[in-house]
Structure 1
Amino acid sequence: MSSAPRPSRTVRHDVAVVGLGPAGRALASRCDALGLSVLVVDPRPEAPWTPTYGVWAEQLGSLPPDVVRSAVLRPELRARGRHVLPREYAVLDNAAVQRALPLAGVEVRAGRLDDEQVSALRREAGVVVDARGARPLGGRRPEGPQDDPSPAQTAYGIVVPAAEAAAALDGAEGLLMDWRTDHTGRRTGTGTDGSGETGHHPDEPPTARARATFLYGIPLGGDEVLLEETCLAAAPGLPIPVLRARLRRRLLHRGLPAGVVDDPIRREVVRIPMRGRSRPAPDGVLAVGTGGRGANVVTGYSVAHALLTADRLAGLLATGAVPTRVDPPEASDLLREAGLRALLRLRVEGTLDLFDAFGQLPVERQRAFWSREAGAGELAGAMWGMFARMPNRSRADLARATLGP
Structure 2
Amino acid sequence: MTPPFDVAVVGLGPAGRSLASRCVAHGLSVLALDPRPDAVWAPTYGIWGDELGGLPEAVVRARVPGPELRVHGNYPLARDYLVLDNAALRTALPLEGVQVRRARLSDADVAALRAEARVVVDARGARPDGLVPDDPAPAQTAYGIVVPADAAAPALQDASALLMDWRTDWAGAAGPGGTPTFLYAIPVGPDAVLLEETCLAAAPGLPIAELRTRLRRRLLARGVEASVLDRPLDREVVRIPMRGRGRRPVPGTLAIGTAGRGGNLVTGYSVAHSLARADALAQAFTTGAVPRVADPVSPADPLREMGLRALLRLDVPGTLALFDAFGRLPAPAQRNFMSRDSDAVGLAGAMWGMFARMPPAGKRKLIVATLGPSVTRRGAPAIRPV
Q: Give the CA RMSD over aligned residues.
A: 1.0
CA distance in 1 between counterparts of 2:364 and 2:132 reads: 33
The answer to whether residue 317 in structure 2 is matched with residue 325 in structure 1 is no
Structure 1: 4+ residue segments shifted above 6 A: none
CA distance in 2 between counterparts of 1:278 and 1:305 reads: 18
Q: Corresponding residue for 1:136? A: 128
Do the aligned partners of 1:154 and 1:269 also contact (CA within 8 Å) in 2? Answer: yes
Counting only pairs closer than 5 Å after superposition, residues 11-160 of structure 1 correspond to structure 2 as 11-137=3-129, 144-160=131-147
* Structure 2 gap ranges (5+): 374-386
Q: What's the offset of the Cα at 1:146?
A: 4.5
Q: What's the offset of the Cα at 1:281?
A: 1.3
The answer to whether residue 164 in structure 2 is matched with residue 172 in structure 1 is no
CA distance in 1 between counterparts of 2:265 and 2:154 reads: 32
Q: Deviations over 1:262-288 (max 9, x none)?
A: 110010000000001032111000000
Q: Corresponding residue for 2:377? A: none
How many residues matched?
Answer: 373
Amino acid at match of 1:344: L
Counting only pairs closer than 5 Å after superposition, residues 1-400 of structure 1 correspond to structure 2 as 9-137=1-129, 144-186=131-173, 199-200=175-176, 209-400=177-368
In the alignment, which of 357, 366, 370 is matched to residue 402 of structure 1? 370
Q: Deviations over 1:72-112 (max 9, x none)?
A: 10100001110010100000000000000000000000010
CA distance in 1 between counterparts of 2:25 and 2:179 reads: 46
CA distance in 2 between counterparts of 1:181 and 1:66 reads: 37
Task: Call closer, same or farther: CA 1:327–1:346 in 2, change over 3 Å.
Answer: same
SS at match of 2:290: strand
SS at match of 2:62: strand
CA distance in 2 between counterparts of 1:129 and 1:267 reads: 32
CA distance in 2 between counterparts of 1:344 and 1:279 reads: 20
Amino acid at match of 1:87: R
Do the aligned partners of 1:146 and 1:239 also contact (CA within 8 Å) in 2? Answer: no
Amino acid at match of 1:301: Y
Q: For structure 1, which segment, 322-331 or 111-120, has the greater mean C-alpha deviation from structure 2 after superposition?
A: 322-331
Q: What's the offset of the Cα at 1:222?
A: 3.0
Q: Corresponding residue for 2:381? A: none
* Structure 1 gap ranges (5+): 1-8, 189-198, 201-208
TM-score by length of 1: 0.91
Amino acid at match of 1:259: S
Identity of aligned residues (%): 65
CA distance in 2 between counterparts of 1:333 and 1:155 reads: 25
Amino acid at match of 2:318: G
Q: Corresponding residue for 1:5? A: none
Do the aligned partners of 1:155 and 1:240 also contact (CA within 8 Å) in 2? Answer: yes
CA distance in 1 between counterparts of 2:351 and 2:110 reads: 39
SS at match of 1:71: strand
Greater relative CO, 1 or 2 (CA 8 Å, sep 6+): 1
Q: What's the offset of the Cα at 1:352?
A: 0.3
CA distance in 2 between counterparts of 1:306 and 1:133 reads: 12
